[in-house]
Structure 1
């Protein structure tokens, strides 16, 4: 029998207001509670880390559909309870704990598949190409690196979403949308004159506004990172890990 998986209608999706913003360790600890609030917190954690887990599994299984099916099965198990009991803020990063958990889950299913092949008559998840999944391609990033890369991309995305919400509340939503490429390093320096003209600002005033927004974006990123570690002293370490993951990926 295959593990039950969430329907595509309820599959985790990254949205502003959820995700890494909710992965404060207080939420992680709350997710261990059998209460309704605990179940909501746990669902938010699953939603936040869905894409990083899929990225890891896609690299391991070499099949996008199999990766999503396995990710659904993994998070279905998490949502059934018990998985979070071993999470301890004193032991460091939640992302590292979850990566270890999904590795254990994948190992269990691979052993189950081998048992079925030997004639035991049962299997948890059936997927093709398992032998190929174990062949290492040195030209490709490792599964762990893929997980970290997607973690970094997701974290930055949520920091950007929170900054957008902040700008909208301040009445600066249109300005944010205009300069968002500059915040992500995607806009050219020569574009600033045109953007300043559209915003009705002098070039010096425009550059100052962008500088302030970039500074606020960095603060938002730091806040997101701080919410994923159990010790404030680890924030700088995680920030460096985030930048390495983006550069190495």
Structure 2
């Protein structure tokens, strides 16, 4: 199998990222608001993980998550974003901590749907959250953040494979990309794909490299400085190992 050469994603020539657009616009423009809405929808799951660990109540965590993001999308909290923070991950965690502290201090008792602006979030994206007895809320946030980044990288790679007519191949090898497959199963998958084992391994090497580039591109979209991508990638993998 051959693929067209792609531009490297690990240099400093990233396009303007979503977080940079938000910081520049402070949600005062259509461009800034759209970028913020995209980030909120993409990274709803880590906030849910954090609040679920803090509150030990899935329904309360869901209600507060929607209220938190509704406030962000209304243009309130984002105005406090500081460029030197650099990471949307750090900003989001700090913002939700402040929101929860304010909620507790005011002894707010939210009723289901009461006064909360609907926010289009996908609860199913949260998936199986870490056991709160084993992870701190901060660690649960970081781990879910890492899982979300990897999931979005996989989605981008799937879309590329679909455009190239290789979606079936992608679905067959996805367990190997995510570490869910058995090493000994490569020969069987290669045969099912009509490939020799050596050719299959070479194709897998290229696909894994491309996945890493897709993940890097997703990470870059949450930073204001592309030179910090590698540092954030290391933090991502550290969170996955927690």
TM-score of the superposition, structure 1-length normalised? 0.78
**Equivalent pair of 1:31/1:84 in contact (CA under 8 Å):** no
Aligned residue number for residue 58 of structure 2: 64
Moved over 4 A (4+): none
CA RMSD after TM alignment = 2.3
209, 216, 220: which one pairs with 1:222? Answer: 216
- Name structure 2 gaps, 5 residues minimum: 1-14, 113-130
TM-score of the superposition, structure 2-length normalised? 0.80
Offset at 1:30? 5.8
CA distance 1:29–1:139, change in 2 (3 Å) = closer
Aligned residue number for residue 50 of structure 1: 44
Offset at 1:90? 3.3
* Whole-Å separation in 2 of the counterparts to 1:35 and 1:215: 36
* Whole-Å separation in 1 of the counterparts to 2:158 and 2:39: 22
86, 98, 101: which one pairs with 1:107? Answer: 101
CA radius of gyration, larger in: 1
Bigger RCO (CA 8 Å, 6+ sep):
2
Q: Does 1:161 align with 2:146?
A: no
Question: After superposition, what is the alpha-carbon deviation per residue over 1:96-152, rounded to whole angstroms, capped at 9, x for unaligned?
Answer: 011101100000010111xxxxxxxxx35379xxxxxxxxx9952110000001000
Query: How many residues get paired?
Result: 210
**Equivalent pair of 2:216/2:233 in contact (CA under 8 Å):** yes
* Whole-Å separation in 2 of the counterparts to 1:241 and 1:70: 27
